[in-house]
């Protein structure tokens, strides 16, 4: 199933993409699309409903972030070997973890706002997932049973904040609007193998990233198992899993976002996003 959230910022309502690609209002069935709702059998409840009888959402209605009530927003750094190489970093021997702020989350087609003194804001198409079950010290074999769905994340990053200022990477990862997610949250049964998805990103119509989740250094099962050693993962926690090569930092010369640019990005089976840079 493909779940969505639609409406004004801060007042999004739950929805479902029907077989014809139209959005149906799920407000009568569930208050919101959350990790907890997924873990409590939301997909099974919706499967027992006549979708054609659900109200249609008017075309052109804004899509909000595909998940509500987000807990932790965890990110994985340098999880594609060729991306590590293009940035001049060593290939990690175990997952690199950092945080993004929940306050940076926006809808898939909302504007991305450059910080006033930004000079090196960059793009990163990534596969993200949400936890639907609590995970603590889980095995890789059992890890994916704790995942409630998958979606696209654009891990927008200010490289000067991230790499040239003192402290941790999260300085360049948490600015408002630096976390577009969606358009859909797709359930695992519809995604199939999350390690076999094409992903891409264009800037002003030019394809700059073109990769596959097959080339992740640490697959999602390993990430869940590894994270659960260091923290309790809870329903509603989201993890964005790293980006393939083609970021602006790795270009020669480097290329960064400027006002008026447009980013368009997608992942196989998970839809597309498009953001204007302002």
Residue 132 is predicted with a pLDDT of: 98
At 239 the three-state DSSP class reads strand
78-to-14, 166, 229 alpha-carbon distances in Å: 33, 19, 20
Cβ-based neighbour number of residue 274 at 10 Å: 16
Domains in the chain, CATH or no CATH each: 2-53 (no CATH), 73-276 (3.90.850.10)
Query: Which pLDDT value is given to residue 123?
Result: 98
pLDDT at 86: 79
The pLDDT profile of the chain, 278 residues, written as one tens digit per residue, is 999 999 999 999 999 999 999 999 999 999 999 999 999 999 999 999 999 999 999 999 999 999 999 999 999 999 998 777 877 778 889 999 999 999 999 999 999 999 999 999 999 999 999 999 999 999 999 999 999 999 999 999 999 999 999 888 999 999 999 999 999 999 999 999 999 999 999 999 999 999 999 999 999 999 999 999 999 999 999 999 999 999 999 999 999 999 999 999 999 999 999 999 99
- Do 127 and 167 form a contact (C-beta atoms < 8 A)? no
Which pLDDT score is estimated for 87? Answer: 77
DSSP state of 55: P
pTM of the predicted structure, to 2 decimals: 0.96
């Amino acid at each position: 199933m493909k779940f969505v959230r639609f409406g004004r910022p801060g007042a999004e309502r739950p929805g479902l993409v029907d077989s014809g690609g139209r959005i149906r209002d799920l407000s009568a069935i569930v208050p919101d699309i959350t990790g907890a709702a997924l873990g409590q059998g939301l997909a099974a409840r919706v499967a027992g409903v006549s979708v054609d009888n659900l109200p249609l959402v008017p075309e052109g209605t804004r899509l909000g972030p595909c998940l509500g009530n987000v807990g932790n927003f965890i990110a994985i750094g340098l999880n594609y070997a060729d991306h590590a190489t293009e940035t001049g970093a060593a290939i990690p021997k175990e997952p690199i973890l950092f945080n993004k702020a929940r306050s940076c989350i926006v809808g898939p087609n909302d504007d991305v706002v450059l910080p006033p003194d930004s000079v090196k804001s960059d793009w990163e198409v990534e596969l993200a997932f949400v936890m639907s079950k609590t995970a603590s010290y889980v095995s890789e074999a059992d890890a994916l049973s704790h995942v409630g769905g998958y979606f696209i994340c654009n891990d927008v990053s200010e490289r000067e904040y991230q790499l040239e200022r003192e402290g941790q990477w999260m300085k360049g990862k948490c600015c408002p609007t630096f976390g577009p997610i969606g358009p859909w949250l797709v359930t695992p049964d519809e995604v199939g193998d999350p390690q076999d998805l094409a992903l891409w990103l264009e800037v002003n119509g030019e394809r700059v990233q073109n990769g596959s989740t097959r080339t992740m250094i640490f697959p999602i099962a390993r990430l869940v198992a590894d994270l659960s050693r260091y923290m309790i993962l809870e329903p509603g926690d989201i993890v964005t899993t790293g980006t393939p090569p083609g970021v602006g930092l790795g270009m020669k010369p480097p290329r960064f976002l400027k006002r008026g640019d447009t980013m368009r990005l997608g992942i196989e089976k998970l839809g597309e996003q498009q953001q204007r840079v302002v």
